[in-house]
Structure formats: C-alpha cells, structure tokens
C-alpha cells in the first residue's frame, strides 16, 4: 500500500545542503507493523513526515494505495491525510480548551461529518480506549497515558488505513508506555498498518519489521522478502 521510490530530502542550512533522506526506497504492505529506529538526525522523523504528507521530498515518488500522492494539489493531500492517515505524537498535541470528546471529534469536524454521526463514532472510540468516563474532561485534567489514549482515539476516528506514531511513549512512564503500545498493537492486529518511529530499542524490537536508519539511509531492514 505504501511505496517510496528514491526519496531524497535536502535541507539547506545556511550555505550547506543537508541530506536528511538520501534515496530511500521502501515498500510497506497493508497491515504491517513497522518500527523505524536510529539515532537522532538519522532521518527517521523526516521519513515519517513525508509518509504523513506533512513534508515534501526534494526528489522521488510516493505511491499510496497506488496513487501518485505527490502530484495531488494541497487540498487533495489534506483530504488524503484526513481520510487515510492517523498521527500520534510524542507530546500528544491535544487542544487544551477542548474536552477529550471534542478533541477526538476534530478530524470528523474537519471532514464535515454531521454532529449526530460524530457523537456515535466518538462514543465508540472512547469505549475502545477505555475513556468513556473521561469524555468531558479537558487535557489538563487527564494523566499522560490518558492524554495519549485520547490522541490515539483521535487518530483512529476517521478509520485510517495507516497510523504513524512518532515516539508515542517518549513522554510517558514505563507503565503508561506499555499500555499505549498494547493499544497500538491491538489496533494493528485488527488490520491497521502501524508505523512507529522510536529510538527506544525495547519498543522497536516488538515490531515484526524493523528498519534501522543512519545518515538518511536505511542500513537494515529485517523484511527479507520485500514484496514486489
């Protein structure tokens, strides 16, 4: 479902050109559980941002579900992001003045889903993430683990085909972190493509497919038989 060809991302810092990604080719099939590991500056976050259509590569092509996604205009890319891609961040990124339920409903609101349908879908996700009793709480009234669960519910509310998680446990204690990983894995087990960026090897090693990056290149990928 995801196919990257010779993706290169060059930043210019002052006079110098920095190759954040240097000719990455990658194929990820539906339902995979992939971790991307590497030291900071290895390009793993840049790769995740390009996968999530938040950043554009300098060169290369990106096919999502067979569609040449980089050739689409800004509004269509936004729509693709909304409908096919879910994001989970290290710092949760919940809007502080909205309740848990309202935060979860944000993507539905952006998509123009009617309020009654929104309510039903949010209620279902609150239940799945065991947050039903926290629906009307604001982020500052929730623990870190609860906040990240709200963020995951928000990422899942549009039923995306791929979930991109950027250090999802990086800001949590061990117990909450494990809880979050279990939740993500449960979602993956039900068919969701899960891509986790982390520098924590204990998290990274749980994935069936592990990709190691360094200096903008993939130096290891345990998927021996990359699908054609």
Partner 1 sequence: MKAGDILAFSQKTLRSHRSRTLLMLLAMAMGVAAVVVLTALGEGARRYITGEFASLGTNLLIVLPGRSETRGVAPGLFMGETPRNLTVGDARALERSSRVRRVAPVIIGSAHASWRQREREVPVLGSTSELLPLRHWKMKQGRFLPPDAAARASPVAVIGANVRRELFGARPAVGEWLRLGERRYRVIGILATEGRSIGLDVEDLVIIPVSSAQALFNTPSLFRILVEARTRDAILPVRNFILDTIQKRHQGEKDITVITQDAVLSTFDRIFQALTLTVAGIAAISLAVAGILIMNVMLVSVTQRMAEIGLLKALGASRRHITLLFLTEALILSFIGACAGLLVGEAGSWLIARAYPALQVTAPPWALLAAFAVALATGLLFGLLPARRAARMDPIAALSRQ
Q: Nearer to partner 1 by C-beta: 84 or 210?
A: 84
CB of 13 to partner 1, least distance (A): 14
Contact 16, 10 (CB under 8 A): no
Q: Nearer to partner 1 by C-beta: 66 or 112?
A: 112
SS3 of the chain: CEEEEEEEEEEEECCEEEEEEEEEEEEECCCCEEEEECCCCCCHHHHHHHHCCCCCCCEEEEEECCEEHHHCCHHHHHHHHHHHEEEECCCCCCCCCCCHHHHHHHHHHHHCCCHHHHHHHHHHHHHHCCCHHHCCCCHHHCCHHHHHHHHHHHHHCCCCCEEEEECCCCCCCHHHHHHHHHHHHHHHHCCCEEEEECCCHHHHCCCCEEEEEECCEEEEECCCCCCC
Q: Where do contacts with partner 1 occur on this chain (CB under 8 A)?
A: 49, 52, 54-55, 74-75, 78-83, 85, 87, 89, 91, 93, 95-98, 106-107, 109-112, 114, 154, 158
Joined together, the tokens standing for residue 153 give 């519910």
Q: Nearer to partner 1 by C-beta: 102 or 179?
A: 102
CB of 3 to partner 1, least distance (A): 22
CB of 226 to partner 1, least distance (A): 28
CB of 141 to partner 1, least distance (A): 15
Joined together, the tokens standing for residue 196 give 């986790």
Spatial distance between the Cα atoms of 125 and 49, rounded to a whole number of angstroms: 25
Q: Nearer to partner 1 by C-beta: 110 or 130?
A: 110
Q: Nearer to partner 1 by C-beta: 75 or 120?
A: 75
CB of 83 to partner 1, least distance (A): 7
CB of 107 to partner 1, least distance (A): 5
Q: Nearer to partner 1 by C-beta: 87 or 210?
A: 87
């Amino acid at each position: 479902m995801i196919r990257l060809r010779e993706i290169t991302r060059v930043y210019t810092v002052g006079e110098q050109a920095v190759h954040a990604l240097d000719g990455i080719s990658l194929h990820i099939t539906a339902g995979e559980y992939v971790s991307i590991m590497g030291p900071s500056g290895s390009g793993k976050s840049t790769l995740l941002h390009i996968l999530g259509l938040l950043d554009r590569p300098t060169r290369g092509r990106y096919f999502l579900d067979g569609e040449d996604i980089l050739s689409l205009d800004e509004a269509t890319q936004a729509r693709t992001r909304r409908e096919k891609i879910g994001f989970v961040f290290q710092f949760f990124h919940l809007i502080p003045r909205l309740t848990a339920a309202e935060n979860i409903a944000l993507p539905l609101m952006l998509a123009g889903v009617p309020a009654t349908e929104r309510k039903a879908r949010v209620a279902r996700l609150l239940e799945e993430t065991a947050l039903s009793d926290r629906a009307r709480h604001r982020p500052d009234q929730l623990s870190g683990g609860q906040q990240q669960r709200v963020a995951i519910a928000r990422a899942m509310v549009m039923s995306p085909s791929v979930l991109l998680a950027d250090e999802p446990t990086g800001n949590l204690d061990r117990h909450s972190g494990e809880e979050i990983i279990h939740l993500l894995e449960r979602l993956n087990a039900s068919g969701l493509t899960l891509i986790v960026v982390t520098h924590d090897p204990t998290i990274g090693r749980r994935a069936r497919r592990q990709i190691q990056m360094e200096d903008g290149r993939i130096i290891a990928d345990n998927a021996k038989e990359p699908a054609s």
